[in-house]
Chain A
Amino acid sequence: MRMPILKYNDQSFEGIESETILDCLIRNNQVVPNSCRSGVCQSCMLKTNSTPDLSSQKGLSPSKRESGLFLSCQQKLNKDFEVFKPNESSTMIEGEILSQHRISSSVVIVSIKVETNFKYYAGQFVNIFRDDGLCRSYSLASQSNDKILQLHVRKVLNGEMSNWLYNSELVGHKIKISGPIGECYLSQDMFNDDLLLLGVGTGLAPLFGIIKDALSKGFEKKITLFHGGLTCEGLYLVEDLKVLEEQYSQFNYNPIYLNGDEQAGFLKGNILELLKDLSLDKLHTSVMVCGDPEMVKRMKQTIFMKGVPSKKILSDSFIAATTNPGKIMIT
Chain B
Amino acid sequence: MSTVYEKIGGEAAVDAAVDIFYRKVLSDDRIKSFFDDIDMDDQVAKQKAFLTYAFGGPANYTGQSMREGHAHLVKRGLNDMHVDAVIELLGTTLQELNVPQELINEVAGIAESVRGQVLGRNG
Contacts and interface: CB of A to CB of B under 8 A. Distances in A.
B7 interface: no
B49 A36 contact: yes
A38 interface: yes
A305 B26 contact: yes
A320 B45 CA distance: 24
A104 B16 CA distance: 46
Contact of B19 (A42, A43, A310, A317): A310
B92 to A, nearest CB: 17
Given A36-B49, A40-B52, A310 B60 contact: no
A41 B18 CA distance: 13
Nearest to B37: A297
B61 A297 contact: no
Contact of A38 (B44, B59, B65): B59
Nearest to B50: A40
A233 B120 CA distance: 51
* Size band of the interface chain B makes with A: 20 to 34
State the main secondary structure of chain A at its contact with B.
loop
A43 B45 CA distance: 9
Contact of B45 (A41, A58, A304, A305): A41
A310 B22 contact: yes
B71 to A, nearest CB: 15
B41 interface: yes
Given A37-B60, A310-B18, A305 B23 contact: yes
B67 interface: no
Contacts of B41: 310, 315
A38 B61 CA distance: 10
A297 B39 contact: yes
A59 interface: yes
A305 B36 CA distance: 11
Contacts of A59: 15, 48
A147 B48 CA distance: 40
Given A40-B45, A41-B45, A305-B27, A313 B40 contact: yes
Interface in A27-45: 35-38, 40-43
A297 B35 CA distance: 12
Contacts of A38: 49, 52, 57-60
Given A36-B61, A310-B41, 14 more contacts: A36-B60, A37-B60, A38-B49, A40-B52, A42-B45, A58-B11, A297-B39, A300-B40, A301-B26, A305-B26, A310-B18, A310-B40, A313-B40, A317-B39
Interface of A: 35-38, 40-43, 58-59, 297, 300-301, 304-305, 309-310, 313, 315, 317
Report, nearest first, the 3 A-B pairs whose CB atoms are least far apart.
A40-B49, A310-B44, A300-B40
